[in-house]
Structure 1
Amino acid sequence: MTIGDHFQEFHGLPAFNFPGVDDPKPDPSSLPSPESVAWHIAVNSYDSDEQWEEAFGRFLAAVDTERVRAIVVGAWSDVYDSAPDEVVKALVAARDRLPSLRALFVGDIVMEEAEISWITQGDMGPLLEAFPGLEEFGVRGGNGLVFPAARHERLRKLTVESGGLPVEVVRAIAASDLPALVELDLWLGTSEYGGDCDIADLEPFFAGTRLPALKRLALHNSEIQDAICSALAAAPVVARLEELDVSMGVLTDDGATALLTGQPLTHLKQLDLHHNYLSPALRTRLLETLEPAGVEVDVDEDDAESDEDDDGEVWRFVAVGE
């Protein structure tokens, strides 16, 4: 699976593409009200006629930014080769003009612009520091991503999408104090694309002591999905979750059995295991055990793809790698 479509909505708002440099100059009266949409601002990822910060400058001139609630950063020029340092600088410089900003995503970039593993990312720390009112923050791409350990009082949702999340980023998020965080969504990925964390690095999430408000935990898209589920079977954080997502990874009967036979899961509203390598018998067992208790369980109808080579070795893959 690859990412083929841009956001249709973000932070509960429909996404709106701010006109490009080659489009007719927008009449402010023809644009949506600033607070009613998530503003998607992007340039061509290859051979762009303008830099992202120039497109952002046009946005600042055309929109009443004091009312803007959500911004989605799309492609910047040469995303496969250049970090978004100037993007970050431009956003930070405009912080006083964005007092109502509550949601920010950096890197809504689809496969035609750059595969997820090609996206060159940068330091997200200045954005969290510059916007203490943020309630939702997300980023796509793990290559070059820096996410310093931080304290943020208002953040309720944090998403990091990658084909391989560097261990330094995992550890920094785990060491962050996020007292208001309700949703944490980490695409851990594979070692082939830089995802080099292990179970010990995830222990702070299992304990949940730095995330006292957490209700939805997604540790997924991982080649160590079985080990994650085995650890979650006894993790203190699970008892206070409403939603648990261990989907998109290399999940087999071993991990799912450990999860199912560990601590009770019947308090959950949702358990997501889609894209898995489970046997039909175990899928049935999951459904028969949890659905009568009111848990919405997603186990897929079909197996994720496995490949067998000439030597009979079976290869299994996460949903999003390259």
Structure 2
Amino acid sequence: MSHVQHLQELHGLPAFDFPAPGEQRDLPEAGAVAWRLAVDPYENDEEGFGDLWDRFLGSVDCAGVRAIVVGQWGEAYDNDSGDIVRLLVDARDRLTALRAVFVGDLEMEEAEISWIEQSDVTPVLDAYPLLEEFGVRGGTGLRFPAVAHKHLRVLRFEAGGLPGEVVRGVAASELPALEHLDIWLGVQEYGGDATVADLAPLLAGGRFPALRHLGLRNSEIQDEIAAAVAAAPVVAQLTSLDLSLGVLTDEGVTALLGGQPLTHLTRLDLHHNFVTEPVGGRIRAALEPSGVEIDLSEPGDLWEDDGVVHRFTAVAE
């Protein structure tokens, strides 16, 4: 199964595709759904995203809109998300109830994740001080300088390669309400050059006092991350930890077993891994009696070339 799929919901609201021009559909109440806005440049060249945006704002009760999912806005590799950011910022006085935004909801059939051209997305956070949930798919061109935001509770980055600069920006941000942080680090070949050192301020704890879920996922240095997490002060405040989708091996799980207690967690997600059954059995035996739910599903496939064993993250290109 693909790990990159269209969102089915955002902010607890079901995703609803805003109709194409001429499509006759009854529209739900503005605050009852997460509005998915997307154009297909290959099937409909008569309406660009700006036209779609204007039609959307003219068709719904803008003051009631609570969640927006931005899908394809053009040919992904030719157009970055800068125009999307500007449209959202310019509409801040109309979208007064907006609490959740996701930018880049494209599936593989529309664009590979590393083809999605992003931009500096932080003006959206500045424009919507009451925003509670923000997510981005695609790391190419993505910028996230450190921000201060009082109400953001959920922050998500899905990437085949997330720039270290973005990770450092997140780690330096002031987000006192942040409860859920999910980061797909990706691989260096596609721009994922973040290191464990970049994560250090986050792992030290104290930066995000409300944090209860931490996902450091889809990384080719997953064992190094697991070793750092094993001794990270931030873990004590978490209820769930997600190290899935990456190149996690027995080395990383052994580091977790030898580190601080994890029995306070409700869930430990290690799915898509390269962990052997004996070591997987050890961590189950250590944590499941305490009620920790452990996901060790989807063992990764090894590929051998001239005697060299290769392991891959779940999402790269």
Matching residue of 2:192 = 195
CA distance 1:238–1:175, shift in 2 (3 Å): same
Q: Deviations over 1:205-226 (max 9, x none)?
A: 1112211110000001000100
Structure 2 counterpart of 1:54: 51
Matched with 2:316 is 321
Does the 8 Å contact 1:6/1:109 carry over to 2?
A: yes
Measured after TM superposition, the shift of residue 84 of structure 1 is: 1.7
Deviations 1:114-142 (A, max 9, x none): 00011111110210100111000000000
1:75 aligns with 2:82: no
**Residue 287 of structure 1 pairs with residue 284 of structure 2:** yes
Shift of 1:3: 4.6
Q: TM-score by structure 2 length?
A: 0.97
The secondary structure found in structure 2 opposite 1:254 is helix
Q: Which residue of 2 aligns with 1:133?
A: 130
Please list every run of 5 or more consecutive structure 2 residues that lacks an aligned counterpart in the other structure.
none
Matched, 1:9 2:9: yes
Once the 2 structures are TM-superposed, how far is the Cα of residue 45 of structure 1 from its aligned partner? Answer: 4.5
* 2:3 and 2:314 in contact (8 A); partners too: no
Partner residue in 1 for 2:213? 216
Output aligned runs, 1:157-196, within 5 Å: 157-196=154-193
For 1:140, give the aligned amino acid: R
Give deviations 1:170-191, integer Å, cap 9, x for gaps: 1111110100000000000000
The unaligned stretches of length 5 or more in structure 1 are: none
- 1:154 is paired with a residue whose SS is coil
- What TM-score does the superposition give when structure 1 sets the normalisation length? 0.96
User: Aligned-residue CA RMSD in angstroms?
Assistant: 1.2
Distance change in 2, residues 1:3/1:278 (3 Å): closer
- List aligned pairs for 1:6-155, cutoff 5 A: 6-24=6-24, 30-46=26-42, 48-155=45-152
Alignment identity in percent? Answer: 58
AA aligned to 2:313 is V
Distance 1:170 1:74, change over 3 A: same
Cα deviation, residue 150, structure 1? 0.3
Aligned-partner Cα distance in 1 for 2:224–2:241 = 15
**Partner Cα separation in structure 2 for residue 6 and residue 199 of structure 1:** 30
Aligned residues: 316
Report Cα offsets for 1:251-298 as digits up to 9, x if no partner: 010111101110000000000000000010011111111111000000
